[in-house]
Amino acid sequence: MDLGEQTLLLFSKKSKFSIFLFTLAIVVIVLLGSSESIVYSRAHDTKEFYNVEEGASFNSILEDFDLPSLKKILLKIYFKKNGITVAQAGLYKLKNKSWKDFISSIGNGDVVIFKLNIPAGKNLYEIKEMLLDSYLNNDCDNFECLDDSFKYIEGTLKPDTYFYKYASSMTNILKQSQAEFIQLASNLWAKKNPNTPLKSLSDAIILSSIVEKEAGNDNEKTIIAGVFLHRLSIGMRLQADPTIIYGLLPEFNGNITKANLRDKNNIYNTYQISGLPPTPISTVSKSSLEAVILGMQNDYLYFVAKGDGTHKFSKTYKEHLEAVRKYQLN
């Protein structure tokens, strides 16, 4: 092979190598560009959350997704290029999020924060239903973790909104709620009206739960509490429909019948029993506690719903019957 041929051969090899390098550079640029564009695509259209286990890597996370191999490679290139290496354990929002936002949230530990809203006026049957969808770790089955020093649990949870991470302890949330409520109620009881016919804080919580269910608005709570305090002071039965309803739960069908009113086996039937029912009938707000504990009896003995969320109050049975005819029978 003469010198010319050798030169041509060397040039040819260099040209091929240059072409290879050029092609490789193009491929790298394309891959990098593709990895940048792929991260803006949706990670998932239907799955709501993704739970990252302790010690999981981004590579192991990707294996949980049904993705084409090339897409996984491009995402791994993006991770490496951006120095994303640590995946923090927890539950993360996934649905409709881009890969970029999803991966960033995992890297930053931006886990989903859940909230449990316990409203006033709810019974334990209703609260149990709320807890089923709470994403809490159920380590307090049937409220067994709670303090029953009042001989009941109903009505000792504080109406409030509680924030927590996925699989947080249900025990911790419920104990916090109960402790805050008992502290609130105890502080109010220390300031009670000295002329109250109520004998204990337990009695006050029970009556407050009845006021909670009877009152259509906060403005009437003091008056309604005053009616019941008046009745208790003279030994008159409370005759509160919500107590009958509570005693019929969870089978109550929405209608109180005459048979329900006469039912002596319903221990919550305040048309048949004297004094207070054995336990509260719902969660209790601060305003209801204040109306019962700080309030005083008034001159009214009766009230009837007017159909607009308010009540007509009467001092005598005759006045009450007239109000019933006007607001209930017409």
Q: Does 155 lie in the same domain as 244?
A: no
pLDDT, position 30: 43
- Distance separating alpha carbons of residues 290 and 267, to the nearest angstrom: 26
Residue 140: its pLDDT value, please? Answer: 94
The pLDDT of residue 303 is 94
Residue 135 shares a structural domain with residue 220? no
Residue 227 lies in a domain: yes
Task: Look at residues 128, 153, 182 and tell me which one is the last residue of a structural domain.
Answer: 182
310-321 average pLDDT score: 95
- Residue 140: give the domain boundaries: 113-182
Same domain, 134 and 232: no
| pLDDT bracket for residue 28 (50, 70, 90) | very low
Q: Is residue 5 part of a domain?
A: no
Examine the pLDDT at 156 and tell me if it is beyond 60: yes
Q: What is the pLDDT of residue 6?
A: 52
pLDDT band at 85 (very low <50, low <70, confident <90, very high): confident
**Are 94 and 138 in a shared domain?**
no
Average pLDDT on 42-69 reads: 88
Q: Confidence band (pLDDT; 50, 70, 90) for 25?
A: very low
Q: Are strands 90-93 and 49-52 parallel, antiparallel or unpaired?
A: antiparallel
pLDDT at 22 over 80: no
The answer to whether residue 207 sits within a structural domain is: yes
On whether the CB atoms of residues 270 and 240 are closer than 8 A, the answer is yes
253 domain-assigned: yes
Of the candidates 155, 182, 209, which is a domain's last residue?
A: 182
Same domain, 137 and 249: no
Q: Note the pTM of the prediction, 2 decimals.
A: 0.83
124 and 86 co-located in one domain: no
Question: Which range has the worst mean pLDDT, 65-74, 113-122, 157-166?
Answer: 65-74
pLDDT at 29 over 70: no
Whether the predicted pLDDT of 287 surpasses 50:
yes
Total tally of structural domains belonging to the chain: 3
Mean pLDDT of the region 239-262: 94
- pLDDT tens, position by position, 189-240: 999 999 999 999 999 999 999 999 999 889 999 999 999 999 999 999 999 9
The last residue of a domain, from among 108, 139, 157? 108
Structure tokens at 309: 């969320």
- Residue 292 phi, psi dihedral angles, 5° rounding: -85, -45
Same structural domain, 278 and 163: no
User: Quick one: tokens of 50?
Assistant: 């993704």
Q: What is the mean pLDDT of residues 136-142?
A: 94
| Together in a domain, 104 and 121 | no
56 exposure class (CB count in 10 Å sphere: 0-12, 13-18, 19+): middle
Residue 158 pLDDT level (bands cut at 50, 70, 90):
very high
Task: Give the model's pLDDT for residue 77.
Answer: 81
Q: Which pLDDT value is given to residue 34?
A: 46
Residue with tokens 């019948």: 257
Q: Taking residues 160-167, what's their average pLDDT? A: 96
Does 200 share its domain with 318? yes
Looking at residue 74, what is its pLDDT? 83
- Measured between alpha carbons, how far is 102 from 93 in angstroms, rounded to an integer? 7
DSSP state of 159: P
Asked whether residue 193 falls in the same domain as residue 309, the answer is yes
Q: Which of 154, 263, 163, 260 is nearest to 212 (CA)?
A: 154
319 and 192, same domain (yes or no): yes
- Chain mean pLDDT for the chain: 88
Measured distance CA(199)–CA(178) in Å, rounded? 22
Does residue 41 form part of some domain?
Answer: yes
For residue 14, tell me if it sits in a domain.
no
SS3 (DSSP) at 313? strand
According to the model, what pLDDT value does residue 23 have?
47
Do 193 and 133 lie in a common domain?
no
Residues in contact with 56: Cβ distance below 8 Å, sequence separation at least 6, in sequence order:
87, 89
Residue 24 has pLDDT above 80, yes or no: no
- Phi, psi of 216, deg, nearest 5: -85, -20
Picking from 63, 81, 80, the residue whose alpha carbon sits closest to that of residue 72 is 63
In a domain, 11, yes or no: no
Tell whether 2 is covered by a domain. no
Residue 57: Cβ within 10 Å count: 13
